[in-house]
Amino acid sequence: MHGAQQPVPMLDFSRQYRAIREEILAAIETVCESQQFVLGPQVAAFEAAAAVMCRVPYAAGCASGTDALWLAMAGAGVGPGDEVVTTTFSFFATASSILRCGARPLLADIDPVTFNLSAEAVEGMLSGTRGDVIRGVLPVHLYGQCADWDAFSGLKQRFGVKLIEDAAQAFGGAWRGIPVGALGDAAAFSFYPTKNLAAMGDAGLVTTTSAETDDRVRSLRAHGMRRRYYHDEVGWNSRLDTMQAAVLEVKLRYLPAGNLRRRALAARYDALFANAGLTGEGIVLPYSDPRGTHVFHQYVIRTPRRDALRAFLAERKIGSEVYYPVPLHLQAALKDLGYRAGAFPVAERAAAEVLALPMYPELREDEQETVVETIRAFFGSS
């Protein structure tokens, strides 16, 4: 590298905003002029557009991805006394939403290559003594890569469990050509500002092929009401904000091209690492299952020297992040589940080794070169 090295941010929201600023502001202005701020027409319009993209008949917006997880499970019939199997290597909401349903999370280890929930581990649990109380399985499409849906579909057929997709990181992904969101009994999406499809605040969505599930989701998101002031059950206030829906409807039009760009950037990272001689024992690059369409919400490498590498990058103003440093079974808030260190060794090792590098459609190729060259310098200096 020659001259002063330029910083490379982990994310830069302003780049997309500058490109579509006028469309975003026009959409917001329309909402302001209408004065319909709660469940305005933009909410229904976005829901319809999202349903088309996910190839499902039903999509219901809500206030956050966390609420979407709860609504998807509750809408599909998960409730008190049930148990739901999910991964220990995910964001906290994956487990907390199960508890919010009144159910109990049963955690399982991950596949060491994809980092997704191990279908083999889940099969062992369904075949065991607790199989009769396991109501559902909640696989996460982690980092934008679909979980092994062939395997999970087989488990559904054998054991009759509900399959709920935690698709928070995977809008636009697919499995054998079927979009994420159309694979399970229901799916939950997050539009947190860091996501591939990003709101300007919190927002979420539940998709399903079931009219019954959609009806219950829509009731639960509005205090358990199907008719104004008549409450069938205790729900929640989790409506998708009209302003966010207007922003999301604009951004949805750009998502397919953005996901293609992410895939191209991931392939270029792969090539840069290979050309730098960094694909040996020091670094493991992301794997893309050929049966699926990976949308690279994150580009995650792994290395036993993760913490030292991250510090080296930070000193040179190159962004990175760890998703996730503490598996769910070791979180203090979930200690009552009864798990201990060593329970899920594959996830624990991943938590110590994974590192997400800058990845967003507006990332420049020279910035990628800077990232890889800096990593090469790290390994070359030791």
Gap between the Cα atoms of 267 and 262, Å rounded: 9
Q: Mind spelling out the 3-state secondary structure of the chain?
A: CCCCCCCECCCCHHHHHHHHHHHHHHHHHHHHHHCCCECCHHHHHHHHHHHHHHCCCEEEEECCHHHHHHHHHHHCCCCCCCEEEEECCCCCHHHHHHHHCCCEEEEECECCCCCCECHHHHHHHHCCCCCCCEEEEECECHHHCCCCHHHHHHHHHHHCCEEEEECCCCCCCEECCEECCCCCCEEEEECCCCCCCCCCCCCEEEEECCHHHHHHHHHHCECCEEECCEECCCCCECCCEHHHHHHHHHHHCCHHHHHHHHHHHHHHHHHHHHHCCCCCCCCECCCCCCCEECCCCCEEEECCCHHHHHHHHHHCCECCECCCCCCHHHCHHHHHHCCCCCCCHHHHHHHHHEEEECCCCCCCHHHHHHHHHHHHHHHHCC
Residue with tokens 């539940």: 206
- Whether a cis peptide bond, with omega within 30° of 0, leads into 58 is no
Q: What ranges do the domains of the chain cover?
A: 15-252, 255-380
pLDDT tens, position by position, 243-276: 999 999 999 999 999 999 999 999 999 999 999 9
> Is 356 in contact with 266 (CB distance < 8 Å)?
no
Q: Of 3.60.21.70, 3.40.640.10, 3.90.1150.10, 3.40.30.10, which CATH number belongs to 15-252?
A: 3.40.640.10
Which residue, among 50, 49, 44, has the nearest Cα to 206 in the 3D structure? 50
Matching fold, domains 15-252 and 255-380: no
Kindly give the confidence (pLDDT) of every residue in the chain, 382 residues in length, as a single tens digit, with 9 standing for 90 and above. 445 678 999 999 999 999 999 999 999 999 999 999 999 999 999 999 999 999 999 999 999 999 999 999 999 999 999 999 999 999 999 999 999 999 999 999 999 999 999 999 999 999 987 778 899 999 999 999 999 999 999 999 999 999 999 999 999 999 999 999 999 999 999 999 999 999 999 999 999 999 999 999 999 999 999 999 999 999 999 999 999 999 999 999 999 999 999 999 999 999 999 999 998 768 999 999 999 999 999 999 999 999 999 999 999 999 999 999 999 999 999 999 999 999 999 999 999 999 999 999 999 999 999 999 999 999 987 5
Q: What does the pLDDT read at residue 382?
A: 59
Q: What does the pLDDT read at residue 132?
A: 81
Architecture label for domain 255-380: Alpha-Beta Complex (3.90)
| Reported pTM | 0.96
- Please enumerate, as own/partner, the contacts of 328-335 that have beta carbons within 8 Å and a separation of 24 or more: 328/87, 328/88, 328/89, 328/90, 328/92, 328/94, 328/95, 328/105, 328/107, 329/88, 329/107, 331/92, 331/95, 333/92, 333/96, 334/95, 334/105
